Amino acid sequence: MSKLDDRALEYVAKYFKALAEPMRLKVLNALQDGEKNVSQLTEISGGTQANVSKHLSMLAQHGLVKRESRGTNVYYSIADQSVYELCDLVCGQIGNRMSLEADIKKMFTV
């Protein structure tokens, strides 16, 4: 990242911002096993149709999902599979940190 200029760093920050919302992560997780329409994603995520649509729009804007119209339905799928590698890396790091914190807490528990 040291060679990135301010404009590039802003773009990177916006990409991470697109991932910094639990509902968007739920949507990405739901799409991991294949394309779905808004109704399916609404049911899986527990959100409202308007809310899920809003999040899908942001994910599409950042190139994370793609949309395909078929008749009266729009289907969404993952545009960039590497997002799952990034999420796995972050989840692993968080898991390691939580495990370490639990170990430290045990040392002080009587």
What count of Cα atoms within 13 Å lies in the side-chain half-sphere of residue 56? 27
pLDDT top residue among 2 and 44: 44
Q: How far apart are CA 84 and CA 78, in angstroms?
A: 10
Q: Is the pLDDT of residue 110 over 70?
A: no
Residue range 1-79 in CATH 1.10.10.10:
yes
Q: How far apart are CA 31 and CA 26, in angstroms?
A: 9
The predicted model gives 13-40 an average pLDDT of 96
Model pTM score = 0.84
Residue identified by tokens 């911002």 is 17
Q: How far apart are CA 47 and CA 52, in angstroms?
A: 6
Bridge partner residues of 78 (DSSP): 65
**Among the listed residues 25, 35, 31, the one whose alpha carbon sits nearest the alpha carbon of residue 73:** 35
Tens of pLDDT, residue by residue over 40-94, are 999 999 999 999 999 999 999 999 999 999 999 999 999 999 999 999 999 999 9
